[in-house]
């Protein structure tokens, strides 16, 4: 059975992927009714309010333009599934924290429960689009669950349509993507379903950017793209350590190699390490997949990307401690930036979390400021997740979330800059210096500050990949 004209789209999962993706779909397809559903009522209420649950530049405008017209946020999952001809599955797929594949494999319980729900309430024919990042062959599992639980006279086509947006630039990425990837079954019905989905994207994306592949290639491409991007960051971060040891400057090296058109200039910014919900999860997934096919060498090659990332975070903190006269116990340290990158309030796998944890283990008092991360989120990441009651109580006393950058530095020994927020460049650093204990240190883990200017004020300015020695 085929479907050409989609009038109702349902998106299961109103998170960082589902929310922006389907809001832009609604913007570009005014004749299609898009309903984004979620089990989490508070999240849906926030999508329906003035303060959206995620911070993403440009998102407010898109939502305001479409909400109540052809874009709806709801907890009535069954009704929305029932009415839709095409369903995006955008639920979370975190790394498993227990059992087989713990710490590496993706936990597919949210995908499975969404699939069971679809099977239970569906009548007629539906196109199910896998949007969440999933391990290769997930589409097959999705199909099995749907076919073994569906009612009579129902049929499904499963497509893989991975999302490549990056947080902080999601709306721009969605409006003008490098490519749209659609994977489907190599049958007449499979090709028809791919054409149906492509017809939605064609409203704003040129034909040549819409790529179609088989299901497994599409699923694997998403993991591979993220692994390649993360691998570039680990590569330049590994070189940052060598730059520090030899007196080279990693930005200069990155610029020099980036002008080679075969290498290219992007994703070569040395940092305290990559974070975010995707890179680590997807590489772990890839490693697990390789091991399950006995591809040991391939698995250890990709595992090294994660190992270097962990090394970078550890060595950054070791350097901070060494410079602060080998102890941070009882010292007040201002942390600038807690999000995993600028222009987002998301802290999933943020390098700041590990950096703060290492400093807390050493007994430092942290005064954290981030323009977009809430106090509750910092507390959830650093205090509530403490492994024991003892460490919970201890970290409760050592973690302070500040309302502004000047409050955070009052009487502090050092500033540790973890996120590359633009506003960090605009502060009055003389005022900051005056508020700090001397010698006043700044450790720039993003290589964004003006070293010369800060040293002119009197700071000891230590920049990753340059003068950490
Ligand atoms: C990533 C992919 O870019 C996106 O295509 C995919 O859909 C989801 O995963 P995201 O994690 O949102 O997106 O952000 P990204 O811009 O890729 O940054 C990831 C991490 O790498 C951040 O912590 C960032 O600060 C870091 N990074 C990025 C560097 O340290 N150096 C760089 O040069 C680039
Ligand atoms: P991502 O970054 O992949 O979008 P998020 O965690 O931000 O991940 O969003 C995933 C959303 O999916 C969450 O809001 C979660 O409540 C929702 N979700 C998970 N399972 C289901 C389900 N079975 N039905 C509806 N929503 C679900």
133 pocket-lining for ligand 2 (C-beta < 6 Å): no
166 has binding-site annotation: yes
Residue 169: count of CB within 10 angstroms of its CB? 15
346 pocket-lining for ligand 1 (C-beta < 6 Å): no
Q: State the DSSP code for 17.
A: T
> In terms of C-beta distances under 8 Å and separation of at least 24 residues, what long-range contacts does 261-265 make, across chains too?
none
13 has binding-site annotation: yes
Any idea which residues carry the catalytic annotation? 278
Q: Whole-angstrom Cα distance, residue 268 to residue 465?
A: 12
Residue 184: count of CB within 10 angstroms of its CB? 28
Q: Whole-angstrom Cα distance, residue 395 to residue 178?
A: 44
Instruction: Please give the angle made by the CA atoms of 262, 264 and 269, to the nearest 5 degrees.
Output: 140
pLDDT tens string, the chain, 469 residues long: the values are 445 689 999 999 999 999 999 999 999 999 999 999 999 999 999 999 999 999 999 999 999 999 999 999 999 999 999 999 999 999 998 888 888 888 888 888 999 999 999 999 998 999 999 998 888 888 888 999 998 998 888 999 999 999 999 999 999 999 999 999 999 999 999 999 999 999 999 999 999 999 999 999 999 999 999 999 999 999 999 999 999 999 999 999 999 999 999 999 999 999 999 999 999 999 999 999 999 999 999 999 999 999 999 999 999 999 999 999 999 999 999 999 999 999 999 999 999 999 999 999 999 999 999 999 999 999 999 988 777 877 777 788 999 999 999 999 999 999 999 999 999 999 999 999 999 999 999 999 999 999 999 999 999 999 999 988 7
Phi-psi region of 80 (alpha: psi -120 to 50; beta: other; left: phi over 0): alpha
Q: How far is the CA of 154 from the centre of ligand 1 (A)?
A: 40
pLDDT of residue 102: 87
Tokens 């199909």 correspond to 143
Which of the ligands is closest to the CA of residue 226?
1
Q: Whole-angstrom Cα distance, residue 366 to residue 394?
A: 12
Three-state SS for 286?
A: helix
pLDDT of residue 105: 83
Please name which of 351, 354, 316, 325 lies closest in space to residue 464, comparing C-alpha atoms.
316
Which of the ligands is closest to the CA of residue 162?
1
Atom of ligand 2 nearest to the CA of 18: 4
pLDDT of residue 110: 94
Q: Which residues neighbour 208 within 8 Å (Cβ) at sequence distance 6 or greater? A: none
CB neighbour class for 384 (10 Å; exposed up to 12, middle 13-18, buried from 19): exposed
Contact by Cβ (8 Å): 116, 146: no
229 pocket-lining for ligand 1 (C-beta < 6 Å): yes
pLDDT of residue 283: 96
pLDDT in tens, 325-380: 999 999 999 999 999 999 999 999 999 999 999 999 999 999 999 999 999 999 99
pLDDT of residue 1: 47
Please name which of 122, 28, 137, 136 lies closest in space to residue 82, comparing C-alpha atoms.
122
- Sheet-wide strand order for 332-336: 399-401, 365-369, 332-336, 414-417, 441-444, 460-463
Q: Whole-angstrom Cα distance, residue 379 to residue 376?
A: 5
ω into 182 cis (within 30 of 0) = no
Q: Whole-angstrom Cα distance, residue 352 to residue 339?
A: 7
Tokens of 26: 């609604």
pLDDT of residue 419: 98
Contact by Cβ (8 Å): 47, 20: no
Q: How far is the CA of 420 from the centre of ligand 2 (A)?
A: 28
Residue 176: count of CB within 10 angstroms of its CB? 10
Please name which of 257, 253, 228, 255 lies closest in space to residue 242, comparing C-alpha atoms.
253
pLDDT of residue 3: 54
Q: How far is the CA of 44 from the centre of ligand 2 (A)?
A: 11
Quickly count helices (H) and strands (E) in the chain: 18, 14
pLDDT of residue 291: 95
pLDDT in tens, 266-309: 999 999 999 999 999 999 999 999 999 999 999 999 999 999 99
Rounded alpha-carbon distances, angstroms, from residue 143 to 12, 139, 146, 324: 17, 6, 5, 57
Q: 365 has which bridge partners?
A: 332
Q: Where are the beta strands (DSSP E) in 42-103?
A: 71-74, 86-89
Q: Whole-angstrom Cα distance, residue 369 to residue 378?
A: 10
Three-state SS for 155?
A: strand
CB neighbour class for 42 (10 Å; exposed up to 12, middle 13-18, buried from 19): exposed
């Amino acid at each position: 059975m085929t479907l050409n004209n989609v009038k109702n789209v349902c998106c299961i999962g109103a998170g960082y992927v589902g929310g922006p993706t389907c809001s832009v779909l609604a913007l570009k397809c005014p004749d299609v009714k898009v309903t984004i559903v979620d089990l989490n009522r508070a999240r849906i209420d926030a999508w329906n309010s003035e303060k959206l649950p995620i911070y993403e530049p440009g998102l407010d405008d898109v939502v305001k333009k479409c909400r109540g017209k052809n874009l709806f946020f709801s907890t009535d999952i069954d009704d929305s599934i029932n009415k839709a001809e095409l369903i995006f599955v955008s639920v979370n797929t975190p790394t498993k924290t227990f059992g087989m594949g713990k710490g590496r494999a993706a936990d597919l319980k949210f995908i499975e429960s969404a699939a069971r729900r679809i099977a239970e309430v569906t009548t007629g024919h539906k196109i199910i689009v896998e949007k969440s990042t999933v391990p290769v062959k997930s589409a097959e599992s999705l199909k099995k669950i749907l076919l073994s639980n569906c009612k009579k006279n129902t049929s499904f086509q499963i497509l893989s349509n991975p999302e490549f947006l990056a947080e902080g630039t999601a709306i721009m990425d969605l409006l003008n993507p490098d490519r749209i990837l659609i994977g489907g079954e190599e049958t007449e019905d499979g090709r028809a379903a791919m054409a149906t989905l492509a017809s939605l994207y064609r409203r704003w994306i040129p034909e040549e950017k819409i790529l179609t592949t088989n299901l497994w290639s599409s699923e694997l491409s998403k993991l591979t793209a993220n692994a390649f991007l993360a691998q570039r960051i680990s590569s330049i971060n590994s070189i940052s350590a060598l730059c520090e040891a030899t007196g080279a400057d990693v930005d200069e090296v990155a610029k020099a190699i980036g002008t080679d058109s075969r290498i290219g200039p992007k994703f070569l910014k040395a940092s305290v390490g990559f974070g975010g919900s995707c890179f680590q999860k997807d590489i772990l997934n890839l490693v697990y997949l390789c091991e399950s096919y006995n591809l040991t060498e391939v698995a250890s090659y990709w595992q090294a990307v994660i190992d270097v990332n962990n090394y970078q975070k550890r060595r950054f903190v070791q350097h901070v401690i060494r410079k602060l006269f080998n102890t941070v116990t009882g010292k007040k340290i201002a942390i600038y930036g807690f999000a995993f990158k600028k222009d987002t309030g998301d802290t999933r796998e943020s390098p700041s979390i590990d950096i703060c944890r290492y400093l807390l283990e050493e007994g430092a008092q942290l005064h954290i400021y981030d323009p977009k991360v809430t106090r509750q989120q910092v507390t959830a990441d650093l205090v509530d997740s403490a492994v024991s009651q003892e460490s919970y109580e201890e970290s409760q006393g050592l973690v302070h979330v500040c309302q502004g950058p000047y409050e955070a530095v009052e009487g502090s020994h050092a500033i540790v800059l973890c996120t590359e927020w633009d506003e960090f460049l605009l502060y009055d650093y003389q005022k900051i210096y005056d508020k700090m204990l001397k010698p006043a240190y700044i450790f720039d883990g993003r290589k964004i500050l003006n070293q010369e200017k800060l040293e002119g004020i009197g700071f000891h300015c230590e920049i990753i990949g340059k003068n950490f020695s």
